[in-house]
Amino acid sequence: MAQNDIMMQRPFEDTTAAAIHKYHQEHNGWAGIGYHYLIRQGGMIEQDRLRGKVGAHAKDNNETSIGVCLAGNFDIGNPTEQQMAAVKELCYWLCRKYNLNPRKKGVIVGHRGLNDTACPGKNLYRKLGDIRRFVYDGA
């Protein structure tokens, strides 16, 4: 599976990958959690779907993207400092691993950049430029 972009999403509260996995199975009828990574509010990164396995996080883009989910409601709140540090480091690592240019359009995107949704929320969406700069500048 070719990796062309890293896509940000969010649930509305701090939760675990196991809880999202169960929800996606019971409510969506999926095989399991749709994301490859979940970043908890304390900054802990949980690997969910294994890399190389197609996710279920962005319709028509799952086969060429890596799903990164940050826990929180970013329409009304902001990602924590710990989440921002973790997502920057994760994106840095992913861009190096898959030889992606973070400044290239469509490489580090919010869910709304791929599908008709408000996700990842306005307060995370406006920080995507900071993430791209961090990754591009080489941490």
pLDDT tens, position by position, 3-34 = 555 545 556 677 888 888 788 888 888 887 77
* 78-127 pLDDT per residue, tens: 999 999 999 999 999 999 999 999 988 888 887 666 666 677 889 999 99
User: pLDDT value at position 95?
Assistant: 94
Count of domains forming the chain:
1
CATH number at 28 reads: 3.40.80.10
DSSP-derived pairing of the beta strands 37-39 and 45-47: antiparallel
Whole-number Å distance between alpha carbons of 41 and 2: 29
Q: Is 66 helix (H, G, I), strand (E, B) or coil?
A: strand
Residue 2 pLDDT greater than 50, yes or no: no
Domain that holds residue 49: 5-136
**Residue 26 neighbours by CB under 8 Å, 6+ apart:** none
